[in-house]
A and B are shown apart, each in its own frame.
Chain A
Amino acid sequence: LRKNLSTNYGKNGEEKAMSSRDKILIQLREGKLPFSGISKPDSYRAMVPIDDKTQPALQSQFIEQAQMASCVVYQAMTPEEAIETVLTLIGEEKTISSWDPEHIPIPELAEVLDNAGITCIGQDANVRIGLTGIDAALAATGSIVMLSGEGRFRASSLLPSVHIAVMTAEQIMPDLESWWAKQKNAGLERLRQHSNIVVITGPSRTADIAMELVMGMHGPRELHVVILE
């Protein structure tokens, strides 16, 4: 059964004739390709069926699922209310890791933080609070989608022990399937301009010790989601 592929190597000098890439691809194409009777799915079912896709229904589903994933969710009717929530969560901290203000959907926030004497830095391993916006939220799974980019530091949602994500209600979409459909419509080339995409569902956790759940293993221990209506 096991055939030694390296027999394709010749004696000195001929080695360059066939790269490992070629060897692997030739071996794969050696016989008849498998599963020839299988065609790709005509249509795809979504993992979570959603009956009601109106905005209020999606919002309550998002909140419920995010809470099940151990997020703490806040609904703010006004920007002032959202700012109040963020300030309370920051508490006594004077330095936080934060995305640039234009990527967080409360225009007044930067000034308020500045006036409160809170310094926002991009990344530092020692800060306790990370503050970010999001790209989209998924109702089916209570997830938030974050794209990397200029002023949208990965570290802010990764190194601190508390992550505060600020979003607007309009950013809620049904599910991962519809998020990808939207990206495809806009052109996947555009999405590939982001070096890193992460879908976050709740705070970091582990169950490696005797299946006991512990929050905050390597990433944040708390994930606070502030929804601005």
Chain B
Amino acid sequence: MKINSKNFIPAAQVAIHDPDLQKAVSTGTHSGFTKRQAAMFADGHEHGEAMRQQAATIKRYSLSILPELLEQAEENMQANGIKVLWAVDAEEANQHVLEIAREHHVQSVVKSKSMVTEETGLNHTLEAAEIKVLETDLGEYIVQLGEETPSHIVVPVVHKTKASIKKLLIEKAGMPPTDDTEEMAKFARETLRSRFLDADMGISGGNFIIAETGSLCLVSNEGNARLVTSIPRIHVALVGIEKVIRSVEDYATLTQVLPRSATGQIMTVYTHIINGPRLAGETDGPEHVYVILVDNGRSEIYTSDYCEALACIRCGACLNACPVYQITGGHAYGWVYPGPIGAVVTPLLKGLENASPLPYASSLCGICKEVCPVDIDIPRMLLDVRRDLVKMGESDLIWDISIKLWAQGMRSERIFTMLGQTASLGQNLISKKLAGPLSGWTDYRSPPIFAQKSFHQLWKERRGKSNEQP
């Protein structure tokens, strides 16, 4: 997928003035946030917190031995009959899929939701090779019909109202007009079902790979991931290298923390553990299963100070909770991963210079860390990325000068006192609205009122008094 993160501010302004988007995103994020709180803390706050810390420890420990776990996972997956491929970057990952498709004479592909394939732009590669690709998650199907990109990790069309989805289904898929959500879903089910049965290849992502058993794990509610991994004769999963975990105990915790954080469910409807292709005596299931382990920038994050970002289990809780995401929606972020975690990983995966506005798309309120099921310190990382951007010279000249002047003033008692007095005396002389580049500040809030006397002055006066009356 092409990156457009430099355009964050204008894109956010468009989103803020789009009433449909505002309504849809507000409903979606609020619902996700409320349900998450209820599910995470269903057995009390202490227990919910303990589970969050347990999940955090599990992911960090797995990352601490990641190279070893990848080797173990590969060995065990191969023993289970899964073919394992490695891809350094997006191009190599797509190339692997194309080669598999050619080897097995694949003409049509059905896909279940996968953020990694959004990263690699797999659909375009397949379509260019004249292989038909169909997204089957209802949200992703709508995204594909609208020739858009998902705006949320878990709810791809959170930015769309029912009315606009209805319009799209009628115009692009030939749905008979209806306002009934059930009818719309039924239409999509029937349209997609025949395509499932005819498809040669199913492509999925992967939520976890258990190293000790060589199992590929997925979660889904609609059942499309089950169809994708069960009906076509070939199944290919593209999985980021950071998804490998150590043990089945780790898995039991993570696969229950994930849906609680994502949609507020205690379990997703289908929690899959895939050990390999169909075995002798089985009449359904794929004949071949491939797992492509995708790096695409992750190994560089791994050896940087931002390794913690790789603990992310892609639940979307930080998106739902974020006051910035709640009003901008996901598209403004300009790449695959929006919201607070996107503001961290987009610059890291695509180059800081290509995503410089994103680390500033945060009020640093800290709720993203608070709701994160693996306790990723996103606010700290946002500050660190800002620091790196400044070091690279990727900062505004006005900001640079202002901050330097401010630092000068703060270091000199004389200038500090003088500035305070000037502000205190001068505020009556200027209007309540600031002009020029500072107007953005006072458009939506009143300027602060400076006290007549500074704390410094008051301290001197009062101490003087108390000294007189011992």
Contact = CB atoms under 8 A, between A and B. Distances in A.
A91 B171 CA distance: 39
A125 B272 contact: no
B67 interface: yes
Contacts of B226: 154, 158, 198, 218-219
A103 to B, nearest CB: 13
Given A39-B61, A209-B185, A48 B162 contact: no
B181 A209 contact: yes
Contacts of A6: 88
Interface stretch (B43-51, B326-334, B358-366): B43-51
A78 interface: no
A2 B351 contact: yes
Interface in A182-229: 183-184, 188, 191-212, 214, 216-220
A200 B185 CA distance: 21
Given A188-B248, A195-B276, A29 B61 contact: no
A207 B229 CA distance: 22
Contacts of B230: 154-155, 158, 196
B28 A211 contact: yes
A105 interface: no
Nearest to A33: B64
A148 B222 contact: no
B24 interface: yes
A192 B80 contact: yes
B94 interface: no
Interface stretch (A16-24, A55-63, A82-90): A16-24
Given A153-B283, A194-B275, A206-B222, A27 B248 contact: no
B307 A35 contact: yes
A209 B156 CA distance: 10
B459 to A, nearest CB: 45
Interface string A19-57: 111011101111101111011110011011100000000
Interface string B252-269: 110111000001011111
Q: Which residue, of B24, B138, B267, has the highest number of chain A Cβ atoms within 10 A?
A: B267
A10 interface: no
Nearest to B157: A208
Interface string B221-259: 111101101100000000001000010110111011100
Given A125-B197, A198-B270, A210-B161, A24 B57 contact: no
Contacts of A132: none
The 10 closest A-B pairs by CB, nearest first: A219-B223, A150-B281, A217-B222, A208-B139, A218-B223, A35-B64, A27-B299, A199-B271, A197-B273, A204-B223
Nearest to A44: B249
B202 interface: no
A176 interface: yes
A155 B193 CA distance: 13
A123 interface: yes
B299 A214 contact: no
B145 interface: no
A122 to B, nearest CB: 5
B270 A219 contact: yes
B162 A44 contact: no
A123 B295 CA distance: 38
A201 B182 contact: no
B267 A201 contact: yes
Contact of A123 (B67, B279, B284): B284
Nearest to B81: A195
A19 B85 CA distance: 10
6 contacts: A1-B304, A69-B267, A176-B252, A195-B285, A197-B272, A204-B221
Contacts of B157: 208-209
A40 B224 contact: no
B299 A24 contact: yes
Given A38-B61, A123-B283, A214-B185, A201 B352 contact: no
Given A33-B65, A176-B252, A188 B212 contact: yes
Contacts of B255: 176
Interface in B262-312: 263, 265-279, 281-285, 293, 295, 297, 299-300, 302-304, 307-308
A192 B299 contact: no
A140 B276 CA distance: 28
B213 A38 contact: no
B252 A154 contact: no
B86 A34 contact: no
B133 interface: no
Contacts of B71: 25
A194 B81 CA distance: 12
Interface in A108-160: 122-123, 125, 140-141, 143, 148-151, 153-155, 158
